[in-house]
A and B are shown apart, each in its own frame.
Chain A
């Protein structure tokens, strides 16, 4: 199975900050990488698909980049509602895998 490693596992930030989360895969996955946001007690929400495509309705302060084995999710101008856990997911192989998650805290 393809292993997905996110870093950092948690970070502290302030409103207005620019935050970058990294996701690395154990083998090349082209651009088959999605990002999700999850708040406590809620289901994940799709933010970015295909490494850099913004899901409909997601604010433009979220952006994704990367290809191959290294990807980033950037949140510019962090808002109070952005404090959550972020998960990456590879969909390159039939067996799908998620990263371990990154918790963004105040």
Chain B
């Protein structure tokens, strides 16, 4: 059974950095891209970027470029997303999701989400 388990909720002050994890199991870690999606309260889904666990290559959405870093640790089958210079607008639930390589792109498995609250 494929599972993506994300780290817990965090409360951060403006200007701080948050780093969250996404531990995967049930499939070969390097067979999928690991995607990250932001959802602000009451809002839609916003794609943040992806990491290829095979080689660490990343693609980031322009909105987050310069503030986001996505990495993957093959030794622990865990992906990480770090977002810096946090502001109130970054208060959101962050999801990780898998996207099988070599097929029509689709996010077929998702983590449970991690709430980040940015508040002074």
Residues of A near any B CB (own CB < 8 A): 1, 32, 34, 36, 38, 42-46, 49-50, 53, 55, 87, 89, 91, 94-101
Q: Which of B3-62 contact A (CB under 8 A)?
A: 35, 37, 44-47, 59, 61-62
Task: Identify A95's interface contact among B35, B47, B106, B111, CB under 8 A.
Answer: B47
Q: B110 touching A34 by the CB < 8 A rule? A: no
Task: Identify B105's interface contact among A1, A42, A91, A97, CB under 8 A.
Answer: A91
Q: B104 interface residue, CB < 8 Å from A?
A: yes
Number of chain B residues whose Cβ lies closer than 8 Å to a Cβ of chain A: 20
Residues of B near any A CB (own CB < 8 A): 35, 37, 44-47, 59, 61-62, 95, 97, 104-108, 110-113
Interfacial chain A residues near B108, Cβ < 8 Å: 46, 49, 55
Q: B45 touching A101 by the CB < 8 A rule? A: yes
Report the minimal beta-carbon distance from B28 to chain A, rounded to whole angstroms.
Answer: 19
Task: Identify A34's interface contact among B107, B111, B112, B113, CB under 8 A.
Answer: B107
Interfacial chain A residues near B112, Cβ < 8 Å: 43
Report the separation of the CA atoms of residues A32 and B99 in the bound assembly, to the nearest whole angstrom: 14
Report the minimal beta-carbon distance from B104 to chain A, rounded to whole angstroms.
Answer: 5
Task: Identify A50's interface contact among B95, B104, B110, B113, CB under 8 A.
Answer: B104
Q: B44 touching A98 by the CB < 8 A rule? A: yes
Q: B59 touching A98 by the CB < 8 A rule? A: no
Interfacial chain A residues near B113, Cβ < 8 Å: 42-43
